[in-house]
A and B are shown apart, each in its own frame.
Chain A
Amino acid sequence: MKNVMGLVFANIYDSSLGQLTNKRTQASLPYGGRYRQIDFTLSNMANAGIRHICIVTQYNFQSLMNHIGSGEEWDLELAENGLEFITPYSMGESHTFRGKLDAIYTASASHLERSKEEYIILADAAVICSINLEEVVHAHIASGKDVTVVVKAGIANGEKQLDLGVKLDADGEIADMAVDFAASKDYLASMGMFIMRKDLLLSSARACVSHNRFRFEREFILQDWLDNKISVGAFECRHVALFNESPVEYFRNNLAIIRRVVRHDLYREGLPIYTKVRDQVPTYYGENSEVDDCIVADGCKLLGAASNSVLFRGVKLSTGASVKNCVVMSNCEIGIGAELEYCILDKDVKISAGKKLIGTMEHPVILNRGDVV
């Protein structure tokens, strides 16, 4: 797959994730006990042998850069290509990108044109999945289509707003395409993943931006498809794909990996998910700990009770404390006898002894990084 490069957008749903993305990009949201969301995107690409990835990020990217570093965990610390960050400030033209197309257009001269790869995969870090991108690229080339969009069934429900939804006919050809639309169940949701020739992307971005069209899905894919300028095909992902586009989805999808079917589909044999290494000691389970149906990372000290929860690295759970249906991020400390239900604790939160916080599945209590209760 030396002929394919990756382009990852790090900030796509920042605004819809509320306080969770106050100080980080959506891509660097913690997930699954020890990961950041972008780990899945980058690992999918690395596992397919992609050796050139550009990450487009606009703001709040300090934690993202810290996490990814030189990209060595994904074997992207290379003499040639490897990993590059594209930020608006580095271009000297505008201070924020006006849309994906603007970012592509601004980055084209500096990063995209001179690289040798023929194909490009665009992705974001909003959808958690383990997908074999080699298969997707082969299917794209075999289809003869200009653009392939990766889609997932079962996401559209008539309520959830889709960035891009497609409806297929009996032959699997796209019959309808709609953007920013709460499509009905018979539509498949775009996973934000597109494959095309790089030269097509660059020429389209130039044409669009010169006509003040900046929105990738609406003003390029849909518009050019309607105008018969491009042919678009769909590749249906049959594996687990978790869309984290709102705090509630994020909450639900974090708890989802406790389920064996979901976990085993995200962590598949031969498709490892890489992440930044933090040297943490193994987790200690105390004499009276009671841990049931939990995902537990390294470095925790568990003396109390936890059930149906995800415990990130370095969580301290005191004696008599109880955590139920919670997402507890790194280095949180839960005091003696505290009781938590349906909560998201961002990093470094401290809950003092005896405190009680109870949310619901649809309205979890969300605590900000470093909060002390």
Chain B
Amino acid sequence: MTFQKKRCVAMLLAGGQGSRLLVLTENTAKPAVPFGGKYRIIDFPLSNCVNSGIDTVGILTQYQPLELNEYIGNGQPWGLNRSHGGVQVLPPYARSKKSEWYKGTANAIYQNLAFISRYDPDNVLILSGDHIYRMDYAKMIRFHEEHDSDVTIAVRQVPIEEASRFGIMNTNPDGSIYEFEEKPKQPKSNNASMGIYVFKWSILKKFLTEDEENPDSENDFGKNVIPAILNAGHKLYAYDFEGYWKDVGTISSLWEANMDLLGTDPEFNLYGDGTAPIFARNYALPASYIDSHSRNIDCLISEGCEIYGTIRHSVVSTGCKVGKDTVIEDSVIMPNVVIEDGVILRNAIVGENCVVRSGAVVGGAFRDGQARQIAVIGKDHVIEVNQVVKPGEVI
């Protein structure tokens, strides 16, 4: 088989355990966690690739890959079922001499250099599978090529008091990076790395090989590879991104990102301007039924639902049933959840396929000035009749 040369190959890091998402990632890789009513987190970077004209994507999986593999399938929902390129799931595999798990982000790509080589790309785009955003990577790649950059790193401005939580790029006025600081105590600027990199293929190959040979390296892009390239005197540029972007690695950020979809003029508009749709695998479900007893106030409800209760400021995913006299507020209901009659749900995330029986109370309101406590119910759980799940409790 011959392989067509590709200008850019995208490598999507989807192997993270996502342990800060607690029960939601117990049996699911973080990128496969449902989001926004009908999506999974990975739909965002994948759709961005397609909308940016990138048709060759490797997805690096490791932790709980079953559901993610199934979800990606042949890539048809994203138009990535191609004769040349398309989407490929790349798990760690046994080689003749040794086999090993992916040791770090850089090592994961290193172990798949052969996959990239087949397409002999000019550039390689490295992405994370756990960010919610809409971005035209083509613009970033054009910037990278115009500056004849060796590595271009997407950055966004964060409030300076939060800068010490991120990898910070200190740049010259022309955007070139002179220093990289991982989580600096005294940040010099507020250009936070978004974990999105464009590498010249030759540079990526060289430095990943060197990194692999260094026994002291943690094989991490941020900690090891980027500093090594910078120290070797190569040209690194920061690419400013101004749109909505959210790392949904924690329960509260996942909840917030869902809430950011609400309102008539939402923080993050899923529809956008209509030119860059977010694609998802769709299932055969009828349109939703909204009963006369229901009240839906400032909420998103997906297809395949039957709604008899009251839903306020919440996201209800595909295939859910919400019973009579049930009240759902400030919550995220993942796909195929059954909520029976007379349930009260506030500040909660309910995982896929859960059943919440009549009279149960999940989560609660919070007082001003207090931190919001999100109650979380993991996938496939049953909350019994009249059971109480306290605010912030995780089941």
Contact = CB atoms under 8 A, between A and B. Distances in A.
A279 B277 contact: yes
Contact of A285 (B270, B282, B298, B317): B298
Nearest to A276: B282
B338 interface: no
A267 interface: yes
Contact of A258 (B36, B278, B289): B289
Interface string B252-267: 0000000000101000
Interface residues of B, number: 37
A307 interface: yes
Interface string A264-293: 001100001111010101111111011111
B299 interface: yes
Contacts of A34: 286-287, 303
Contacts of B302: 282-283, 298
A284 B316 CA distance: 10
Nearest to B283: A272
Contact of B291 (A43, A292, A312): A292
A169 to B, nearest CB: 39
A293 B291 contact: yes
Contact of B315 (A266, A282, A303): A282
A307 B293 CA distance: 12
B232 interface: no
Given A298-B302, A298-B303, A293 B282 contact: no
Contacts of B311: 285
Interface string A53-73: 000000000000000000011
Contacts of A72: 76
Contacts of A298: 38, 287, 302-303
Given A34-B303, A279-B280, A296 B298 contact: no
Nearest to A274: B284
B298 A297 contact: no
Nearest to B315: A282
B386 interface: no
Contact of B264 (A263, A291, A303): A303
Nearest to B299: A285
Contact of A272 (B277, B284, B289): B284
B343 interface: no
Contacts of B77: 277, 279
A33 interface: yes
B300 A282 contact: yes
Contacts of A297: 287-288, 303
A289 to B, nearest CB: 6
B287 A296 contact: yes
A286 B264 contact: yes
A277 B286 contact: no
A172 B300 CA distance: 51
Contacts of A287: 264, 297-298
B292 interface: yes
B345 interface: no
B294 interface: yes
A33 B305 CA distance: 13
A312 B300 CA distance: 16
Contacts of B297: 285-287, 289
Nearest to A313: B287
A29 B246 CA distance: 41
A32 interface: yes
Nearest to A285: B296
Contacts of A307: 292
A277 B297 CA distance: 27
A294 interface: yes
Contacts of A32: 286-287
Nearest to B43: A279
A326 interface: no
Contacts of B37: 281-282
19 contacts: A34-B287, A35-B286, A260-B289, A272-B285, A273-B284, A279-B277, A281-B270, A283-B300, A285-B297, A285-B299, A291-B290, A293-B290, A293-B292, A295-B289, A295-B290, A296-B288, A296-B289, A298-B287, A298-B303
A-B residue pairs, 8 tightest by C-beta: A33-B287, A282-B37, A285-B296, A292-B292, A272-B284, A282-B302, A297-B287, A281-B270
